Amino acid sequence: MNTITTGYLTNHESGAIASVFVNDADTINSLYNEGVVGMIADLFQLIGLLFVVFIRSTGLDFIILIVMPLILVMTRHFQKASLASQKQNRAAIAKVNHHIPETLRVLSMIHIFEKEDYMEDKYDQYIEESYRAQNKSNWLDSVYSPIILTIKAVVIGLLMIGAAQGQKMQTFFGSNAGSAVALIAYVRQIFTPLESIGMEIQSIQDAMAGMSRIQDFLNEADSKPDICQGEEHDF
């Protein structure tokens, strides 16, 4: 902060700058405490289960190889949309953080010029922006899990249909009346970490939005005071 340029301080609202060090920093803390650890554990669990399934069932392996890229593309789409919403939410929160102390600082002037309604409308506008962005992020988070559950049901259905088509298909899917139950359990275990990752997307993208704002601040050019070098004069 000692080397930040005066241009940055004049071009950015004080509340927005404070929000970088308070709200955005808190989201990074929650990312390392919750999101990253949970996602790493889910990924290791998913890799182990996929390895077991690939050994036990060629048919189920084939189905998962088709479904998994679709899930990855869908997850990436949800990540981008959630990140955009969280950035909008962070920007709106910064406006609120600036608006409240600014209102209190010039409260007498607001009363003199009868601008109470105007300031209330501005506050409502910022809160509405934050609400809409957060609501969109919540909607994306709530839709992701049902989609994963639906895909899981389809995979289980395809597994059962294929295993019931004769001896060759049973051999291909590596299942019979006894092992089908075990394979279904494996399928459920595969999609459980995927569902958990979807639930963690919101918190992770929230932290990524905060990190993006902090990075923008750190990328600001430092002020370089002029050092005048002149000849020494004897007085």
Taking the chain (235 residues) in runs of 10, the rounded mean pLDDT of each run is: 66 69 69 68 80 77 84 84 83 83 86 89 91 88 86 83 69 63 78 74 71 76 56 45
Contacts of residue 11, Cβ cutoff 8 Å, sequence gap at least 6:
none
Quick one: pLDDT at residue 128? 93
Q: Is residue 202 part of a domain?
A: yes
Quick one: pLDDT at residue 232? 46
pTM score of the predicted model: 0.65
Number of H helices, E strands in the chain: 9, 0
Q: Which structural domain, as residue segments, surrounds residue 212?
A: 13-216
Structural domain count, the chain? 1
Quick one: pLDDT at residue 231? 46
Q: Are 196 and 141 in contact (CB under 8 A)?
A: no
CATH number for the domain including 135?
A: 1.20.1560.10
Residue 229's H or E segment, with its range, is none
Q: Is residue 228 part of a domain?
A: no
Q: Are 151 and 197 in contact (CB under 8 A)?
A: no
Quick one: pLDDT at residue 178? 60
Q: Is residue 235 part of a domain?
A: no
Q: Is residue 1 part of a domain?
A: no
